[in-house]
Structure 1
Amino acid sequence: MDTTFKVTATPLPGHEGTPMLGLYPHHYIENPVLKENVVATVDSIRGPIRMVQSKQFQTRYKVNGFVPYWPGLPEGEAKGELRSFIKKDASRAQRMMLEIGQGPYWQGKGLQRISNVMRIAEQEGMKDVSNDLLAKLKARAEQWFSGQNKRTYFHHDKDFGTITSYPEEYDAVKDMNDHHFHYGYWIRAAAEIGMLDPQWILPSQWGGMVNLLVKDIATFERGRSDFPYLRNFDPYEGHAWASGVATSPDGNNQESSSEAVNAWAALMLWGTLTNNQALVDVGTYLYTTEIQAINHYWFDIHGVTLPKEYLNVEVSMVFGGKLAHNTWWIDEPRQIHGINLLPFTTASTYLATSPAFVKRNLEALDKEIKIYESRGKRAKPDDIWQDLFAKYLALVDAKAGMARWDRWGSYELGDTRTHTYHWLQSMTSMGVPDLSVTADTPYFAVFKQPTGQRSYLVYNASDKPMDVAFSDGKWVRAAPKGLSVQ
């Protein structure tokens, strides 16, 4: 994916000159098309900024795609256990759709949570379970989308050019915070519904409301009177900001970079299901660019951006003018580390970019937990979010990830035991993500066993077969309207 930055400079008194541009690390590290000569280097909160004298420059990033769902498990004992988890979670689905909070953030998480169980049930051939969960998801989404419920609804505020949602959570109305986090969950859940019921997402049905959520967070036409261009995404910084008003003396901020990625992946899926190639393209741009920024400024996988004085291995909250290792609500280590991992979806394979960082991050987490508990503090529950870290480790070491997971322990309230078990067993059967291989479609995934054997996945939303070429020479003939695995 190529991005070109062009500068139009208006000279003040004197002769017209060539502008001086400062390139952040995500602009120049591993960028094969950068040709400008560096004339100086300046230290900054984002790492070394390289100064170039030019009116434009270009970046080129490798697109690591994803498929919307993974296949069912191969025959064996694990398949039977998975079906048992599906039945238990499906029996509690109505409650699990909204276990905490009452507003659009937690409701969106609940919808996406149950849509994962629905998709796994469908892949396992449990059609009755899948159909029942699909009906529950549609009913809950329609309750919010219809505007008939006075307690839970969306509102198009034309004066402010935004979609607000009630009851308000996390100052999303008052300060216009976190819209991409909140609405990303809804868009992804709607896409999952649409893959099983294409009529439901038609613009004349419920798709029209989803399209408004898309426009709220990612309008890509400049100068519109209804919604702003890209809402809160900063093309030069390479990532989104979460605060709507940015009143902090440290500038704007973003905590959960992974929830931003979830939103951009949702745009890609929604675009392909609604035959909107422009939205697929902008979603791919946002998804790919945000991942680059995460790897530099949240995770610093190249060891370039974090100051020597910063004592942690990762940044949980990136501000315009500071770096923080904390959350907005608690100083408990697992939540500090986990907020930039959740939600785990099929679009989360980018977290395996640096296996060394994954292990370093988890080692730091375990040390921080001991320090936290030595101060007489305890998380509630004691093993909070243990399922997230098992899945995180499984991305680079499937056996270690499975060993880390307590199947009867706690689970993050945007996830389920069904999804965790399916995730861990999928890594065991297919291998870990192989991000060295790319394809000529964004809807692909490649996994690699320790033996070197690869599994190739392609999703084809069209009604015709599609030939997909992989960068390692592999070709896959992808069947229409579904997932192909070789």
Structure 2
Amino acid sequence: MAAPNLFANPIATDAPPANIGRKQDHPAPRLGITGTAPFETNKFYANFFLGTQTAPTYLHPYSVAWSGGKGVSASWGMSVSHVEMRQRVYGQITPETGAVKYFINPVGIQSVVISAKELGSTTTLTSDLLTDFSVRVCLGPSPQAQAAIQFHMVQGSAFVSALFTGATPLIQTGVFYKTVTRSTKEVKPGVTKYKLHLEDGATWLLYAYHTKGDALDLQVVNNGLAQSKKPFYGVIQVAKDPGNGEAVYDKACGAYATGVKLTGSVNGNKGTYTFLFQKAGMLTTILAMFALPHHQSSFDTDTRGKMTAVNLQTTTKGIATAVVADAWTMIESALPTEMGFVPWLPKVGSVNTISATVRNFIHNIALQELSQNMLQQTDQDSMYFSGKALAKFAQILIAVNDMLGDKALALQSLKQLKVAFARFAENMQQYPLVYESGWGGVVSSATYVTGNSGADFGNTYYNDHHFHYGYFIYCAAVIGYLEPTWIASNKAYVNTLVRDIANPSAQDKYFPVWRCFDWFHGHSWAHGLFETLDGKDQESSSEDTMHTYALKMWGTVSGDQNLAARGNLMLSIQARSMQAYYLYNKNNTVQPPNFIGNKVAGILFENKLDHTTYFGGNIEYIQGIHMLPLLPHTPLVRTGDFVAEEWETYFGNGRADKVVGGWKGILFANYAMIDPRGAYTFFSQPRFDPSWLDGGASLTWYMCYSAALGGL
């Protein structure tokens, strides 16, 4: 496989199929957004246009928030903070593991606030230039007035940078100044530097690059306010000095990132992707940007050579390191290009051989499961649960066709699966999809009908779209694999779902670019159009990777080589990021030592980790939501060492046997990765209870999977 430019071409540019209805409005207002849709809905900066517009935005390592006249500073400017590990608040210790249940970083700290004398109670916050990596946020004295300050927000920025065009700067703090000192000479021509020593012991550096008029001349009014004597034209930047950052900041000041151009390529099983940072200010100055741990471990040699010794703690992603470069290149050298629909293992490849005796036994199970009513099971009032049911039957057909060798039975049952899928392709489900042009995307009509923003897990509000649509895309890939002629008449519908969650190109004017997957973080965010103090979050790492696997396989069967290549690259990136941030073996050095004993994140927020779920605190829920569904890509992400540690911690010594309901089957399917014969024994027992199967799982698939891995 060779894909020289993964992001050059859109999947499609035409309108969604005509049988998907249209809405011109959306229940979530677009507060302060200027420009035309499509708009990003699941990105780090969404709090700027949701709710009160004052909840924090997490840039990693800094956090920013519009003060809105509140807090200690009572400012109307943009507050900037950075939290050290010692400031975190930890939950209770779980006796079984010795790990804390959660940790959270404090919010509302106003270390440095960049404001202007012109701002006050009539201040308006607007945002524009919304991209998958960046946004511009403007603060104006009133709704009709020109912006007093503009902020380009890009994740990883070494500085928080504010553009002034004649407003009078106020530099405020809610932590209080010990001293404010001005350097005796310019750091660079036109750049004035101040050191802000705060009462909490932190030192912040402020750089002011004036593009016309006078240099910034601050007068300390009191221990919470330093005020410019004159209007200012240029850029004011602030950065926290960890103790060794001043020389790096001195060289990098004057320039700031405004966005990122993403490029990438795949050649064989090697993939590379590059962040080319767009910048403004002093264009000859090389940028300083902070890299997360998974970036650092995948940098190419050139980028690695530009790393510095300047480190800052992030909220939930370990230690970030400053890199002085205008571009980063990351390499993934073991893409799962050969992975298909059957069980697969790293360094082994596809594993689908099963003995005749075992095949015959499982075949009887498959006959029973395929006699179930597909139409009834998939006819639900939820895209999520309907998608899981469709995927369940798709898994059975793969097992029957490719592992049990009964192609006739597979093709016979495929007819039923196509009819079940057609209900959704024809948009005849209980809550049909609509394309709404307010934000730009395909959503469930459930909220429009019921008024409940949480209907179908918030699908109408763009919550969990990659989970929901990923199951449909996987099912479509299976149908297309078994009957290639089906693809042509269903491609527009399936690609509409793909475009909603994973559109790679701004040429597609109907959907935002990369709604769900965050190329900076290396995983997706599930949280849609809901304001939240702790930023975006995601609960199920495994359903995130499921959607990527589905993209890969749909690209493969539909002939979209770039889509398949992107899926392979994303899977490799996710394996790296999940093992750093979500799934913890005993050697994890990214997350706090007192948290990794939980083995999984639970819910990963931008500002906290909480070892729980949104639907309950049972340990099988918390661990199991990171296991389902079991698919060929699962061992790529959930390594054998990790699975063994997790099993020993929570489920060994008969503890899994005491679990009830569908979670029991999920646990033992996961167990197949370390003891496939033991898992097969569980699933093949004479008294197997069907209630041990989740609604998205089949006994046929679980038995075929464990039998193949176990050499049975």
Q: Which amino acid aligns with 2:359?
A: K
Q: Is 2:701 the partner of 1:392?
A: no
Name the SS for the 2:551 alignment partner: helix
Asked whether the 8 Å contact 2:661–2:694 carries over to 1, the reply is no
Cα deviation 1:299-353 (Å, max 9, x = unaligned): 1344112113425222121111011111111111111101111111112221443
| Contact 1:90-1:129 at 8 Å conserved across structures | no
1:133 deviates by 1.9
Match of 1:450 in 2: none
5 Å matches for 1:41-440?
41-44=311-314, 45-61=316-332, 62-65=334-337, 66-70=339-343, 73-94=353-374, 97-98=377-378, 101-123=380-402, 124-147=404-427, 149=428, 151-167=430-446, 168-173=455-460, 175-202=461-488, 205-222=489-506, 224-301=508-585, 302-310=587-595, 311-353=597-639, 355-366=640-651, 382=660, 384-403=662-681, 405=683, 407=685, 408-409=688-689, 410-429=692-711
Residue identity matched to 2:665 = D
The question of whether the paired residues in 2 share the 8 Å contact of 1:2 and 1:58 is answered with yes
Question: More deviation in 66-75 or 177-186?
Answer: 66-75
Look at both structures and tell me which one has the larger radius of gyration over its CA atoms.
2
Question: TM-score with structure 1 length normalisation?
Answer: 0.79
- Which residue in the other structure is 1:451 paired with? none
Change (3 A) 1:246 1:292: farther
**Quick one: distance in 1 between partners of 2:437 and 2:548?**
24
Unaligned runs of 5+ in 2: 1-270, 344-350, 447-454
8 A Cα contact 2:668 2:682, kept in partner: yes
Secondary structure in structure 2 of the residue aligned to 1:171: helix
Q: TM-score of the superposition, structure 2-length normalised?
A: 0.55
**8 Å Cα contact 1:73-1:79 kept in structure 2:** no
Partners of 1:43 and 1:404 lie apart in 2 by 45
Task: From the two aligned structures, give the one with the greater helix fraction.
Answer: 1
Please give the per-residue CA displacement for 1:149-190, whole angstroms capped at 9, x wherever unaligned.
3724222223331111354510100x2101111001001101
> Match of 1:242, SS?
coil
The runs of 4+ residues in structure 1 deviating greater than 6 Å are 367-370
Contact 2:464–2:526 (Cα < 8 Å) also in 1: yes
- Corresponding residue to 1:2 among 269, 272, 277: 272
Matched position secondary structure for 2:354:
coil
- SS across alignment from 2:704: helix
RMSD: 2.6
Q: Secondary structure at the match of 2:378?
A: coil
TM superposition shift of 1:369: 10
Displacement, 1:17? 3.0
> CA–CA distance in 2 between the matches of 1:231 and 1:357?
30
CA distance in 1, matches of 2:519, 2:429: 38
The CA deviation at 1:97 is: 3.4
- 2:307 corresponding residue in structure 1: 37
Give the 3-state SS of the residue equivalent to 2:574 in structure 1: helix
Bigger mean CA deviation after superposition, 217-226 or 401-410 = 401-410
What is the rounded CA distance, in whole Å, between the counterparts of 1:303 and 1:30 in structure 2?
Answer: 16
Q: 1:223 to 1:249 in 2, by over 3 A?
A: farther
CA distance in 1, matches of 2:572, 2:438: 32
Higher strand share: 2
Q: What is the identity percentage for the equivalent residue pairs of Structure 1 and Structure 2?
A: 22
Deviates more, 1:60-69 or 1:70-79: 70-79
Partner of 1:466: none
Q: Structure 1 residues 96 and 290, CA, compared in 2 at 3 Å: closer, same or farther?
A: farther
Q: Judge which range, 32-41 or 210-219, deviates more.
A: 32-41
1:367 Cα shift?
A: 8.1
Unaligned runs of 5+ in 1: 431-486
Q: Which 10-residue stretch deviates more, 216-225 or 69-78?
A: 69-78
Greater Cα shift, 189-198 or 266-275: 266-275
Q: What CA distance in whole angstroms lies between the structure 2 residues aligned with 1:74 and 1:328?
A: 39
Task: Tell me the distance in 2 between the aligned counterparts of 1:196 and 1:321.
Answer: 44
SS in 2 for 1:429: coil
Greater mean deviation of Cα atoms: 15-24 or 218-227 = 15-24
Change (3 A) 1:291 1:94: same
